[in-house]
């Protein structure tokens, strides 16, 4: 009796130990010091790689380096061609010398300056076009049935060019607003209404980059996946991007001003919708060519007989924007943080798992995608044509420009409320003494602006986490300044200050999130009330 009781007590003690959550266990030693990460960043962002543009020699060099590192870490190739998955692209370039835009009032045409007023977007103008069409202002241009929002209702849009301001009303949840602002979703409703083209006015309240810097690189060629299955905006004939500082002339004679619209848009208030008094003449000459670029895919196999056939994806984009207009005498857009930082993390985590192996039940897929800067194209291709069974991907942890420029005290978790992967990321952050928060700046649309979004659309729970700040805290200005001066600029290079301890802590967080997801028997699931759960149907 007695001895039996002691056995039971010991058992209870053992079970209690096993049930202690990670938060209560003594923290395992850190696996990172920031230095190995930084050494990878230095290679990837070196001037000799010329900013790693999709299709360029510089990107191929970066990829060769990555493959060498992944091999060194003992990973298996998991692409279609060894570590590589080759993808075909079309490239589009506006020939401004043969193109023009003009606003027409009472038969009088007034030309717009490409540099200062508005330019033709080759991303949204795939073929040469000569168009004259009336303009209609459609607010944010959103149709969101879930929230009974239909900004196109009651407007005659057939054969028209619509004008909208980037953004969304405040009562629309971030993820939902982001989703409906994607090219594909937006075009579905515009196209159904008979629209032939669109002018996007950038929202001064959410511009990461000042107009001068956007404009100076406006003629950088755009790309799309060559296969027709990937055309997100069939039938769109023209896309124009408008400088908010020049937008007032679109509203002349309409009874409204852009100042009024911008003020409402800043506070995410509902916007009016009305026909404009001016129409647009557009002559767009587009040159096209084809090229190839690859994703890199590597695998660290799990050991569980069944679960090893399931994959947790760690993704980052290895491409950047290449060589562009000189700023301060520098033409190389090195992309040290965007996303040399994430690519370096992928290589560093692979190395850490070789140096300090962990028992893995599921397998981990290390994915370095191409053409993120061209519109998330490499990940779009991979999500549509994965090199492992599509249903075997259980989660995507995407790392893009996590910005270790301040100590990691706050972690912004994109997708925190959408799935239990988000909840797990939050719990792991908390266990490390880091405060997890949802996106404090929903207007920036970050949820759809990196590669995780292509996994989400295939039903795969995903998160993207970044070193963050709380609104109003002094750190906010550091991030704002970084975006204004370094984001997509030549100064995103290795001469900028970074916090190596912050990077190391972020890597440790990511490693724990991967291992925890690989070793938790249940797959991550969408929250029952998540909008994105619909993609996981069946």
Which range touches Zn ion (CB under 5 A), out of 61-69, 338-346, 391-399, 505-513?
338-346
Question: Coil, helix or strand for 348?
Answer: helix
Nearest to 400 by CA among 436, 382, 433, 376: 376
Q: Nearest approach, Cβ of 162 to Zn ion (angstroms)?
A: 27
Q: Nearest approach, Cβ of 317 to Zn ion (angstroms)?
A: 8
Alpha carbon of 321 to those of 41, 67, 87, 282, 377: distances in Å?
Answer: 16, 21, 18, 27, 13
Nearest to 133 by CA among 284, 255, 282: 282
Alpha carbon of 389 to those of 240, 266, 293, 480: distances in Å?
Answer: 39, 44, 22, 41
Instruction: Out of 208, 338, 396, 420, point to the residue binding Zn ion (CB under 5 A).
Output: 338
Which range touches Zn ion (CB under 5 A), out of 50-58, 266-274, 331-339, 378-386?
331-339
Across the chain, how many H-helices and E-strands are there?
14, 22
- Total number of residues that touch Zn ion (CB under 5 A): 1
DSSP 403: -
- Which residue lies nearer to Zn ion by CB, 338 or 414? 338
How far is Cα 332 from Cα 325, in angstroms, rounded to an integer?
Answer: 9
Considering only residues 164 to 223 of the shown chain, the ones binding Zn ion according to CB under 5 A are none
Q: Nearest approach, Cβ of 373 to Zn ion (angstroms)?
A: 5
Q: Nearest approach, Cβ of 333 to Zn ion (angstroms)?
A: 9
- Which residue lies nearer to Zn ion by CB, 41 or 196? 41
Query: Is there binding between residue 493 and Zn ion (CB under 5 A)?
Result: no
- Which residue lies nearer to Zn ion by CB, 117 or 338? 338
- Which residue lies nearer to Zn ion by CB, 52 or 458? 52
DSSP 53: B
Determine whether 534 is exposed, middle or buried from the number of CB atoms within 10 Å of its CB (0-12, 13-18, 19+).
exposed
- Which residue lies nearer to Zn ion by CB, 233 or 337? 337
List of residues 6+ apart from 393 with CB closer than 8 A: 310, 311, 313, 365, 386, 455, 458, 460
Q: Nearest approach, Cβ of 115 to Zn ion (angstroms)?
A: 22
Q: Nearest approach, Cβ of 330 to Zn ion (angstroms)?
A: 17
Q: Nearest approach, Cβ of 446 to Zn ion (angstroms)?
A: 11
Which range touches Zn ion (CB under 5 A), out of 154-162, 177-185, 332-340, 453-461?
332-340
Name the token pair of 363: 């397998």
Name the token pair of 225: 């996946």
- Which residue lies nearer to Zn ion by CB, 189 or 452? 452
Helix (H) or strand (E) holding 144: strand 143-144
CA 183 centroid distance within chain: 13
Q: Nearest approach, Cβ of 533 to Zn ion (angstroms)?
A: 28
Considering only residues 146 to 165 of the shown chain, the ones binding Zn ion according to CB under 5 A are none
Q: Nearest approach, Cβ of 440 to Zn ion (angstroms)?
A: 20
Which range touches Zn ion (CB under 5 A), out of 201-209, 337-345, 381-389, 511-519?
337-345
How far is Cα 519 from Cα 531, in angstroms, rounded to an integer?
Answer: 27
- Which residue lies nearer to Zn ion by CB, 230 or 487? 487
- Which residue lies nearer to Zn ion by CB, 89 or 531? 89
Nearest to 335 by CA among 317, 320, 318, 315: 320
- Which residue lies nearer to Zn ion by CB, 310 or 338? 338
- Which residue lies nearer to Zn ion by CB, 99 or 206? 206
Which range touches Zn ion (CB under 5 A), out of 333-341, 431-439, 440-448, 467-475?
333-341
Question: Coil, helix or strand for 39?
Answer: helix
Which range touches Zn ion (CB under 5 A), out of 90-98, 234-242, 273-281, 334-342?
334-342
Alpha carbon of 383 to those of 186, 379, 393: distances in Å?
Answer: 21, 6, 10
- Which residue lies nearer to Zn ion by CB, 338 or 418? 338
List of residues 6+ apart from 252 with CB closer than 8 A: 105, 277, 278
Q: Nearest approach, Cβ of 488 to Zn ion (angstroms)?
A: 6
DSSP 380: H
Q: Nearest approach, Cβ of 338 to Zn ion (angstroms)?
A: 4
Question: Coil, helix or strand for 396?
Answer: strand
Which range touches Zn ion (CB under 5 A), out of 145-153, 336-344, 374-382, 524-532?
336-344
Q: Label the pairing between strands 197-201 and 100-105.
A: unpaired
Which x/- pattern, by CB under 5 A, does the window 50-79 give for Zn ion? ------------------------------
- Which residue lies nearer to Zn ion by CB, 338 or 396? 338
Q: Nearest approach, Cβ of 293 to Zn ion (angstroms)?
A: 16
- Nearest residue to Zn ion, by Cβ distance, number only: 338
Q: Is-contact 394 517, C-beta < 8 A?
A: yes
Enumerate binding residues for Zn ion (CB under 5 A): 338
């Amino acid at each position: 009796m007695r001895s039996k009781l002691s056995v039971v007590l010991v058992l209870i003690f053992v079970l209690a130990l096993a049930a202690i959550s990670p938060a209560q266990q003594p923290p395992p030693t850190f696996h990172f010091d920031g230095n190995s990460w930084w050494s990878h960043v230095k290679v990837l962002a070196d001037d000799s790689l010329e900013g790693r543009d999709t299709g360029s020699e510089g990107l191929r060099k970066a990829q060769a380096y990555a493959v060498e590192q992944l091999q060194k870490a003992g990973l298996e190739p998991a692409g279609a061609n060894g570590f590589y998955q080759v993808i075909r692209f079309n490239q589009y370039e506006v020939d401004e010398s043969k193109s023009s835009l003009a606003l027409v009032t009472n038969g009088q045409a007034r030309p717009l300056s490409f540099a200062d007023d508005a330019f033709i977007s080759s991303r949204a103008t795939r073929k040469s076009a000569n168009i004259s069409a009336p303009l209609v202002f459609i607010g944010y241009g959103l149709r969101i049935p879930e929230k009974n929002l239909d900004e196109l209702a009651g407007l005659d849009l057939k054969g028209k060019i619509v004008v909208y301001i980037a953004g969304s009303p405040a009562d629309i949840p971030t993820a939902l607003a982001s989703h409906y602002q994607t090219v594909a979703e937006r075009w579905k409703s515009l196209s159904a209404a008979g629209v032939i083209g669109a002018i996007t006015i950038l929202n001064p309240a959410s511009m990461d980059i000042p107009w001068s810097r956007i404009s100076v690189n406006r003629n950088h060629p755009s790309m799309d996946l060559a296969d027709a299955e990937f055309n997100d905006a069939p039938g769109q004939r023209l896309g124009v991007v408008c400088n908010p500082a020049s937008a007032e002339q679109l509203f002349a004679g309409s009874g409204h001003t852009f100042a009024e619209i911008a003020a409402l848009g800043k506070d995410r208030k509902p916007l009016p919708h009305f026909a404009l008094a001016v129409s647009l003449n557009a002559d767009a000459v587009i040159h096209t060519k084809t090229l190839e670029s690859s994703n890199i895919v590597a695998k660290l196999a799990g050991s569980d007989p069944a679960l090893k056939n399931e994959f947790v994806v760690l993704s980052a984009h290895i491409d950047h924007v290449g060589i562009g207009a000189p700023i301060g005498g520098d033409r190389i857009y090195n992309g040290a943080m965007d996303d040399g930082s994430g690519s370096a993390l992928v290589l560093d985590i692979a190395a850490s798992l070789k140096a300090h192996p962990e028992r893995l039940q599921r397998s981990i897929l290390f994915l370095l995608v191409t053409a993120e800067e061209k519109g998330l194209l490499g990940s779009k291709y991979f999500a549509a044509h994965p090199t492992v069974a599509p249903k075997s991907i259980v989660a995507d942890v995407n790392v893009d420009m996590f910005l270790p420029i301040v100590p990691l005290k706050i972690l912004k978790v994109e997708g925190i409320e959408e799935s239990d992967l988000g909840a797990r990321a939050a719990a792991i952050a908390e266990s490390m003494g880091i405060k997890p928060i949802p996106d404090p700046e929903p207007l920036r649309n970050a949820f759809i602006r990196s590669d995780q979004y292509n996994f989400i659309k295939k039903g795969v729970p995903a998160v993207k986490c970044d070193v963050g700040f709380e609104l109003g805290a002094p750190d906010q200005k550091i991030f704002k300044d970084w975006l204004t001066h370094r984001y997509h600029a030549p100064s995103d290079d290795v001469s900028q200050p970074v916090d190596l301890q912050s990077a190391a802590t972020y890597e440790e967080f990511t490693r724990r999130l991967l291992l925890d997801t690989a070793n938790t028997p249940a797959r991550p699931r969408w929250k029952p009330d998540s909008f994105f759960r619909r993609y996981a149907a069946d």
